[in-house]
Chains A and B, each alone.
Chain A
Amino acid sequence: GAVVSQHPSWVICKSGTSVKIECRSLDFQATTMFWYRQFPKQSLMLMATSNEGSKATYEQGVEKDKFLINHASLTLSTLTVTSAHPEDSSFYICSAEGPPNSPLHFGNGTRLTVT
């Protein structure tokens, strides 16, 4: 149980375009989801906390107008990278909180390449 599905698994886009990444909890409801970014050979950096029905909470240094987060239902959160640039190329991973006392469950990640 506690499966998190992330889509797409990889995407290549041109500079200046926007990309939407979906994160779904398949067999549980997640009022809170988290979005992480990981650059090569680095650890996961928390970008924002996505709360169902309310505004996301962004970590310091993360531009909320560039990384739009929508958590419209208990099973879906989306991250939109707007006006993407090559420096936004990274591995984006979502995670969701499952039942009490359970670990954070991660999606399989989305590798974004901006050309």
Chain B
Amino acid sequence: GQNIDQPTEMTATEGAIVQINCTYQTSGFNGLFWYQQHAGEAPTFLSYNVLDGLEEKGRFSSFLSRSKGYSYLLLKELQMKDSASYLCAVRSGSGNTGKLIFGQGTTLQVKP
């Protein structure tokens, strides 16, 4: 079966660092994605991991451990506009294709 878990809500302070964890158990693995979604809008792509290790992209970094079925998204120097839902998604399938299965999302609230 497919199971992707992430915390429902998190709160952090402006300027701080926050780590959002994601664990997964899926039939097939072909990459893990993180998306940001503001209320009423479509998701926007943040980062992608297919191999173990850390991928850094400006204020955002994502880590993957395939053996542990674990990933995290790290947000640095938090800004108020980072208040949003963060979705962890696993792609199953072969090659560079395959459907994305999403976790329930983590709502992050950034406070002044």
Write out the residue numbers on chain A whose beta carbons fall within 8 Å of the beta carbon of B95.
100
> Total A-B pairs in contact (CB under 8 Å)?
48
> What 1/0 flags go to B78-112 for Cβ under 8 Å of A?
00000000010001000111011111110000000
The B contact surface, by secondary structure, is loop
Write out the residue numbers on chain B whose beta carbons fall within 8 Å of the beta carbon of A106.
42-44
In the bound assembly, the distance between CA atoms of A91 and B42 in angstroms comes to 9
**A7 → chain B closest CB, angstroms:** 13
- A97 in contact (CB, < 8 A): yes
Asked if A46 and B42 sit within 8 Å, CB to CB, the answer is no
Asked if A44 and B102 sit within 8 Å, CB to CB, the answer is yes
**How many chain B residues touch A (Cβ–Cβ < 8 Å)?**
20
> What 1/0 flags go to A22-45 for Cβ under 8 Å of B?
000000000010101000001111
Within 8 A of B (CB), among A75-111: 91, 93, 95, 97, 100-109, 111
Size band of the A side of the interface? Answer: 20 to 34
- B33 in contact (CB, < 8 A): yes
Which of B33, B41, B99, B105 lies in contact with A108, CB distance below 8 A?
B41
Asked if A46 and B33 sit within 8 Å, CB to CB, the answer is no
**B31 → chain A closest CB, angstroms:** 9
**A52 → chain B closest CB, angstroms:** 13
In the bound assembly, the distance between CA atoms of A38 and B48 in angstroms comes to 22
Write out the residue numbers on chain A whose beta carbons fall within 8 Å of the beta carbon of B40.
91, 111
In the bound assembly, the distance between CA atoms of A108 and B44 in angstroms comes to 10
Asked if B100 and A104 sit within 8 Å, CB to CB, the answer is yes
Write out the residue numbers on chain A whose beta carbons fall within 8 Å of the beta carbon of B96.
97, 100-102
Write out the residue numbers on chain A whose beta carbons fall within 8 Å of the beta carbon of B41.
108-109
Asked if A104 and B33 sit within 8 Å, CB to CB, the answer is yes
**A25 → chain B closest CB, angstroms:** 14
Apart from A44-B87, A93-B43, A95-B100, what are 15 other A-B pairs with CB-CB below 8 Å? A34-B99, A34-B100, A36-B102, A42-B104, A43-B105, A45-B102, A49-B99, A93-B42, A100-B95, A103-B45, A104-B45, A104-B100, A106-B44, A107-B42, A108-B42
